[in-house]
Structure 1
Amino acid sequence: MKIIDGGVTAAKGFKAAGMHAGIKKGTKKDMAMIVSSAPCMAAGTFTTNLVKAAPVKWDQHVVYEHGEARAVVVNSGIANACTGAEGYGYCEETAKAAAEALGIDKDEVLVASTGVIGKQLPIDTIKKGVKDLSGLLLDTREAATLAAESIMTTDTVKKEVAVEVEIGGKTVTIGGMCKGSGMIHPNMCTMLSFLMTDAAISKEMLQKALSADVDDTYNMISVDGDTSTNDTVLLLANGLAENPEITEEGEDYQTFARALHYINETLAKKMAGDGEGATALFETKVIGAQSKEQAKILAKSVICSNLTKAAIFGHDANWGRILCAMGYSGAKFDPEKVDLYFESAAGKLKIIENGVALDYSEEEATKVLSEKAVTAVADIKMGEASASAWGCDLTYDYVKINADYRS
């Protein structure tokens, strides 16, 4: 696998555009479009929240009932959630506008929204934005960046990644972008993730690869414990790499799945590290577990603990908070067998052994915990399974950002 500099235009046949359409105040970019020159197999996973935004319902219709797609239209600033039949109608109007501008069917257009819940979209502004974006589409690296910037809300950085792999003697590329900073919690988070590949792969295998991988990537991150109404991951495959079509599990499928996992894990970690107000990416790795599910439950519990997140912000090796979070997770383990380490670019330090604190240096611990990425490793000594979860520290700025979100 080769990591390349790219985003949603990295794979063959994909163009993108991003711009300020007028949804947000000022001049911030707020609309993006991605288009494939060829029909795509479409796969998707969506929020587990019972309150589903209108674009989630529209995309489920396209992915599950139509099956193919050619374009994605995204707006930021307004979530189009809790907007009733009118909000769903605006999704269809957006798709119709894109279909007319691009010469495709409206059921080949996916839509996504992120922002404030409860407001109706300014549909005339959206439709004009769609028309303008259709004239700006390019397959350049810069176009991918503009699209990535245009879907941001409280994100502080754009989030993109791309890789190349060889399948059947052909170079297959997967490129993606996402947004997510707050209202993020398993399962699925306030996140929109758009993945484009030129792989030739059946719809069944495409959906299988995405659904399986989401559990180990996007569903293993949390910023604030709130599961959004708009979570959407879309994966489009147009087949232009001309590799032998992947129609069953095997070596080619595994190669594709590994590349997809790298894309998803990278984007998931970018979101966790850019949590609202965050100063550090906080990873918890549970090793020595009896099962992967046990490890996942324990790891998630730690990264969701507000007390632990606050300790990470304070660069404080308050290991009791980690053991406490593991204890209320619901997973069974023996606290008196747990070894715990903190590690970062500044080094690795063993904090407890068999559930009891060691005579470690607080000064050294603070040094390790002062990096931009910090990992807690918990060895529960019960087996060979492991899992990782990702979150961030809890800072003063998180409250400020969310207190002022609508103003």
Structure 2
Amino acid sequence: MITTKKSEIKILEQGHITTAEGFYAGGIHCGLRRKKLDFGWLYSETPAAAAAVYTQNSFQAAPLKVTQDSIGKNQTLQAVVVNSANANACTGYIGLENAYHTRKKTAEKLGIAEELVGVASTGLIGVQLPMEKINHAIEQIVEMENDPEKFEEAILTTDTVTKHVAVQLEIEGKTITIGGAAKGSGMIHPNMATMLAYVTTDAAVEPDALQQLLSQTTDKTYNMITVDGDSSTNDTVLAMANGKKGNTPLSEHHPEWEKFKNAFAAVSKILAKKIAKDGEGATKLIEVQVMNASSTENAGKVAKAVISSNLVKTAIYGADPNWGRVICAVGYSEVPVDPDKVDVYLGHIQVVADGLPSEFSEDEGTAYLEGSQIIVKIDLKQGSAEATAWGCDLTYDYVKINASYRT
């Protein structure tokens, strides 16, 4: 447990998607994958305020359209079902019918209205779902049985680890919990990624406020990660607030909104960093901090340009303190910068001062880059805005994994 004094948020590193009261989750193997779990569900005892953001890829998968339809009815969900191994993307009207059928069968199994069910898929594109296996999986759902680890496993594709966290804070004297789970390892790039992320809270939150909060938080977290420069067809971040704690519904008008907002952002930031760290074949988590930019938007553009550079990523993999690649990425970020003012640091080591090489020990730079967590700092000296992006190194294993993805 980590307590941050600034916001009085307790970070429960061993917390899960169901640490928030009234949520249950589970997962099974239904045959979409050879052996691993491949079908999961998330369930709330009561209907929950719901919000979501989706991929900006033009080829949105069928499940996204169904979930959009469900949330669009009344901004409420009670259950979500997720399958891995098959994305149900680029599958035409049959794929859409299968996604709607999945929603209907799940609603019947749980005894709730269809519009209270969200649907998600992740995996191979262009293959129809084997609906006999999906139907069988739905019949195995036990809504009040709780095994969040199985849910977290069931949603994985090429991930090497599950990704989960929970935080707690006090609102109106009540202990509020926000939990989260995510998957994502490859085809990760701003905006969004080949990722699914779920955030739950037992706080009461007004639906419009939840949607606005999720959208704003996504811009600063999930939209600031990259692994390989590809954005997927299935990306979804979904939040549910079931109000089990009985607090006055939260919104920007609530006196403790900022505290809740910070806690919500903490969950998303932790999940985003875990996705970046678990990039396919990755050996290092890279964090790019841009400071003193003219605007937050420009700071974000520079951070994204650097974190997305394959030359930067391969240099860090090879522990080569080649700062020229960083400068190059800053220069093509389409953000106006003054080349005579930019400073660059690798951790605490300054490698560029006012756009010129700074004297530093190559051996010290190499030693720093051999670590597992790398921070690149860029000072633009233009203003006071800042932004941070996360990614990973690019390795030989990334090529191996993706060269044989279908075989």
TM-score, normalising length from structure 2?
A: 0.96
Aligned to 1:29: 37
Letter in 2 for 1:249: H
Give the whole-Å Cα distance in 2 for the aligned partners of 1:213 and 1:64.
20
Aligned to 1:238: 242
Letter in 1 for 2:241: A
1:107 matched to 2:130:
no
Aligned CA RMSD, in angstroms, stands at: 1.0
Give the whole-Å Cα distance in 2 for the aligned partners of 1:134 and 1:279.
38
Give the CA deviation at 1:290: 1.3
SS in 2 for 1:78: coil
Give the whole-Å Cα distance in 1 for the aligned partners of 2:141 and 2:283.
35
Give the CA deviation at 1:329: 0.6
Give the CA deviation at 1:351: 1.0
Which consecutive residues of structure 2, in runs of 5 or more, have no partner in the other structure? 1-8
Give the CA deviation at 1:21: 1.1
Aligned to 1:303: 307
1:76 matched to 2:84:
yes
Q: What are the within-5 Å matches in structure 2 for residues 319-334 of structure 1?
A: 319-334=323-338
Give the whole-Å Cα distance in 1 for the aligned partners of 2:163 and 2:252.
31
Give the whole-Å Cα distance in 1 for the aligned partners of 2:251 and 2:292.
35
SS in 1 for 2:141: helix
SS in 1 for 2:239: strand
SS in 2 for 1:233: strand
Give the CA deviation at 1:251: 3.0
Give the whole-Å Cα distance in 1 for the aligned partners of 2:91 and 2:247.
43
SS in 2 for 1:77: coil
| Contact map agreement 1:32 1:151 (CA 8 A) in 2 | yes
Give the CA deviation at 1:249: 3.2
SS in 2 for 1:134: coil
Give the whole-Å Cα distance in 2 for the aligned partners of 1:106 and 1:384.
48
| Contact map agreement 1:101 1:134 (CA 8 A) in 2 | no
Give the whole-Å Cα distance in 2 for the aligned partners of 1:227 and 1:15.
30
1:350 matched to 2:378:
no
Q: What are the within-5 Å matches in structure 2 for residues 360-371 of structure 1?
A: 360-371=360-371
User: Please, which of 284, 303, 306 is the counterpart of residue 280 of structure 1?
Assistant: 284
Aligned to 1:168: 172
Give the whole-Å Cα distance in 1 for the aligned partners of 2:72 and 2:107.
19
Give the whole-Å Cα distance in 1 for the aligned partners of 2:30 and 2:366.
46
Letter in 2 for 1:397: D
Aligned to 1:55: 63
Give the whole-Å Cα distance in 2 for the aligned partners of 1:228 and 1:314.
28
Give the whole-Å Cα distance in 1 for the aligned partners of 2:339 and 2:76.
50
Give the whole-Å Cα distance in 2 for the aligned partners of 1:335 and 1:134.
60
Give the CA deviation at 1:393: 0.5
Give the CA deviation at 1:248: 3.6
| Contact map agreement 2:73 2:115 (CA 8 A) in 1 | no
Aligned to 1:119: 127
Give the whole-Å Cα distance in 1 for the aligned partners of 2:162 and 2:217.
22
Aligned to 1:20: 29
Give the whole-Å Cα distance in 2 for the aligned partners of 1:118 and 1:318.
40
Q: What are the within-5 Å matches in structure 2 for residues 120-199 of structure 1?
A: 120-134=128-142, 137-139=144-146, 143-199=147-203
Give the whole-Å Cα distance in 1 for the aligned partners of 2:205 and 2:80.
20
Letter in 1 for 2:358: L
SS in 1 for 2:112: coil
Letter in 2 for 1:166: E
Matched positions, count: 398
Letter in 2 for 1:11: A
Give the CA deviation at 1:74: 0.4
1:97 matched to 2:101:
no
Aligned to 2:261: 257
1:11 matched to 2:20:
yes
Aligned to 1:405: 405
Give the whole-Å Cα distance in 2 for the aligned partners of 1:382 and 1:31.
49
| Contact map agreement 1:19 1:30 (CA 8 A) in 2 | yes
Q: What are the within-5 Å matches in structure 2 for residues 207-222 of structure 1?
A: 207-222=211-226
SS in 2 for 1:255: helix
TM-superposition CA deviations, 1:196-234 (whole Å, max 9, x none)? 111101101111110111100000111111111000001
Aligned to 2:6: none
Q: Which of structure 1's runs of 4+ aligned residues deviate more than 6 A?
A: none
Give the CA deviation at 1:274: 0.7
Which consecutive residues of structure 1, in runs of 5 or more, have no partner in the other structure? none
Give the whole-Å Cα distance in 1 for the aligned partners of 2:139 and 2:366.
53
Give the whole-Å Cα distance in 1 for the aligned partners of 2:360 and 2:130.
58
Letter in 2 for 1:350: Q
Give the CA deviation at 1:113: 0.4
Give the CA deviation at 1:339: 1.1
| Contact map agreement 2:70 2:114 (CA 8 A) in 1 | no
Give the CA deviation at 1:269: 0.6
TM-superposition CA deviations, 1:210-266 (whole Å, max 9, x none)? 011110000011111111100000100100011111144343221111111001111
